[in-house]
Amino acid sequence: MKDKTRDQYAVMGNPVSHSKSPFIHSEFARQTGQQLDYTAICVEPGHLSEAVSQFYHNHGKGLNITVPFKQDAWQLASQRSERAQRAGAVNTLVLLSETAIYGDTTDGIGLVTDLTQNHGIQIQPQKILILGAGGAVRGVLEPLLQGQLQQLVIANRTVAKATELADDFAELGAVSGCGFPDLNGEKFDLVINGTSASLAGELPPLPENLLTADACVYDMMYGAKPTVFMRWGMHQGAARCLDGLGMLVEQAAESFEIWRGVRPRTEEVIRALRASMK
């Protein structure tokens, strides 16, 4: 039974019952000897503020925020990290008091840690294509642009969202926005899928020959089987086709450290999660 006097953490979203975060954070707590509980809370649209306030009064210390509330959570935060300020969305809240709420975004650092440390892929002078211009992509642009990349192209179904996003981050590096048809004739070393198309088993309309000889494709989505985007990468001859399970665990580790001041080990949690999905 849950000990209500222990520090409480949760992920809030809608839907949220499928979330792997309670498993991940329970593993982190066990591994680091931290006394806490972590649950998943489904919140009705428009009711995030009252849900957070109620959670705070029940020993709530921190929250992860997922679809569709990342922008609402950004509004709710009375203080924000620099990276969250630019991203316009937060996935991590620290509840300092009922009204003092600190917001941060850990998706980007989660992606970069997964790419560089778990998969040994360096963000070196190369051309990177990122598909989608929603909350997840907004959160990963700053850490990607901090790498040594040559060019970052954002392609989106709604072209205006891609170009606006590129404009918002232009001072950080060589970034441009376009639509999928504009990719004809271009080649990339790394293609990251940040669209939610995979959720519906769909693929953005990508041209042939988009990949360089040793290109890597990375889907922020994950599943027991390769996603439709990973299968596209295999078909196109990508050297490596990766999913976003490692990103999920790495962004969680970053949140855990923000809350508890301890860095959990991620490798064994990624392995356990992967095994549980089979």
Site for ligand NDP, residues 45 to 64, rule: CB under 6 A: none
| Segment contacting ligand NDP by CB under 6 A, of 47-55, 157-165, 170-178, 182-190 | 157-165
Distances (CA, A) of 225 to 23, 190, 238: 20, 21, 17
Q: Name which position in 133, 144, 175, 211 contacts ligand NDP (CB under 6 A).
A: 133
Neighbouring C-beta atoms of residue 89, cutoff 10 Å: 21
* In the complex, minimum distance from the CB of residue 31 to ligand NDP, in angstroms, rounded to a whole number: 19
Question: Which run of H or of E encompasses 127?
Answer: strand 127-131
Q: Are 155 and 162 contacting, i.e. CB atoms less than 8 angstroms apart? A: yes
Helix ranges restricted to H, the chain:
21-32, 48-57, 70-76, 82-87, 107-113, 135-145, 159-169, 228-235, 245-260, 267-277
Phi, psi of 7 (to 5 degrees): -60, 135
Site string for ligand NDP, 180-199 (x = CB under 6 A): --------------xxxxxx
Neighbouring C-beta atoms of residue 224, cutoff 10 Å: 8
Position with the least CB separation from ligand NDP: 134
Q: From the centroid of its chain, how far is CA 5?
A: 31
Site for ligand NDP, residues 226 to 255, rule: CB under 6 A: 244, 247-248, 251
Q: Does 134 bind ligand NDP (CB under 6 A)?
A: yes
Examine the residue annotation and report whether 70 is marked as an active-site residue of this protein.
yes
Site for ligand NDP, residues 100 to 119, rule: CB under 6 A: 107, 110
* In the complex, minimum distance from the CB of residue 203 to ligand NDP, in angstroms, rounded to a whole number: 8
Q: 61, 70, 127, 161: which one is catalytic?
A: 70
Q: Name which position in 158, 184, 209, 276 contacts ligand NDP (CB under 6 A).
A: 158
